[in-house]
């Protein structure tokens, strides 16, 4: 097996030897901003290729160039959305964009009527359902505030189950009107 010649690679591609500071300085230049834009667009192009492949849209052979897109469109496609502070129906509607419930439900997989009930607030999704919906929307489940609340609740329950004395101390701090003691962790361990 051939050994890699890293010295020759560094001479041919000096950027491989650059550290964080050099890269930051480079990206602060006009050439660096242009390079960063090209890198982001290449990632965008690959993501769109994968989406087209999944949807069965991809054609064989040489494909025509994509129309130009704005930097905001590239960011939305390449970078994950920040966690939502909106209730589940609003957060999911934001993720789905112009997709219909009928088109989205089979990706979960879930019956469209069940998803419709959740979108109208007439049914609450559980932790596993939120994880399936997040996977179908291609985001981390923590995007949904309900998932974060359920997850933290389960963690607290498991800690209190494993260490019942903590639950007693926390309960006493709450019932004695001392939520600051609980918030500051001033209860017996």
Beta strands in the chain (DSSP E): none
Write down the pLDDT at residue 17. 67
pLDDT at 119 over 90: yes
Residue 52 has pLDDT above 90, yes or no: no
Q: Where residue 88 falls among pLDDT bands split at 50, 70, 90?
A: very high
Residue, of 122 and 9, whose pLDDT is higher: 122
Phi and psi angles of residue 26, each rounded to the nearest 5 degrees, phi first: -65, -45
The mean-pLDDT minimum among 38-42, 92-96, 98-102 falls in 38-42
* Contacts of 147-151 spanning 24+ positions with Cβ under 8 A: 148/83, 150/126, 151/127
Highest mean pLDDT: which of 15-29, 42-56, 98-112, 162-176?
Answer: 98-112
Give me the pLDDT at residue 142, please: 93
pLDDT at 154 over 60: yes
Q: What is the reported pLDDT for 189?
A: 47
Distance CA 78, CA 138 (A): 11
pLDDT digits (tens, 9 = 90+) for 135-150: 999 899 999 999 999 9
Residue 59 has pLDDT above 70, yes or no: no
The confidence score (pLDDT) of residue 184 equals 65
Residue 112 to residues 20, 103, 106, 121, 127, Cα–Cα distance (Å): 48, 9, 8, 14, 19
CA distance 119 to 110: 13
116 or 11, which is more confident? 116
CATH topology of domain 90-139: 434 Repressor (Amino-terminal Domain) (1.10.260)
What is the C-alpha to C-alpha distance for residues 16 and 34, in angstroms, rounded to an integer? 18
Which string of b and e fits 115-124 if b means at least 16 CB within 10 Å?
A: beebbeeeee
Q: In terms of pTM, does the model score above 0.75?
A: no
What residues contact 19, with CB distance under 8 A and at least 6 apart? none
What token pair was written down for 57? Answer: 């849209």
pLDDT at res. 98: 86
- 135 neighbors 142 (Cβ within 8 angstroms): no
Of 173, 174, 178, the closest CA to residue 187 belongs to 173
Q: Is the pLDDT of residue 7 over 80?
A: no
Whether cis (ω within 30° of 0) applies to the bond prior to 143 is no
Asked if pLDDT for residue 117 goes beyond 90, the answer is yes
3-class SS of residue 101: helix
Domains of the chain, by residue range, sit at 31-51+67-79, 90-139
Three-state DSSP at 59 gives coil
What per-residue confidence (pLDDT) applies to 13? 67
């Amino acid at each position: 097996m051939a050994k890699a010649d890293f010295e020759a690679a560094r001479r041919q591609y000096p950027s491989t030897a650059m550290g964080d500071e050099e890269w930051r300085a480079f990206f602060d230049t006009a050439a660096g901003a242009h390079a960063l834009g090209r890198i982001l667009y290449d990632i965008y192009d690959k993501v769109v290729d994968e989406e087209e492949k999944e949807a069965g849209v991809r054609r064989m052979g040489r494909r025509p160039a994509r129309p130009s897109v704005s930097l905001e469109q590239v960011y939305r496609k390449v970078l994950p959305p920040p966690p939502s502070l909106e209730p589940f129906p609003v957060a999911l509607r934001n993720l789905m964009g112009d997709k219909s419930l009928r088109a989205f439900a089979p990706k979960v997989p879930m019956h469209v009527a069940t998803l419709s009930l959740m979108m109208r607030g007439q049914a609450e999704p559980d932790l596993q359902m939120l994880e399936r919906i997040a996977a179908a929307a291609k985001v981390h489940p923590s995007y949904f505030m309900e998932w974060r609340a359920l997850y933290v609740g389960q963690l607290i329950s498991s800690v209190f189950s494993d260490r019942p004395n903590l639950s007693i101390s926390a309960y006493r701090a709450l019932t004695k009107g001392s939520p600051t003691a609980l918030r500051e962790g001033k209860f017996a361990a």
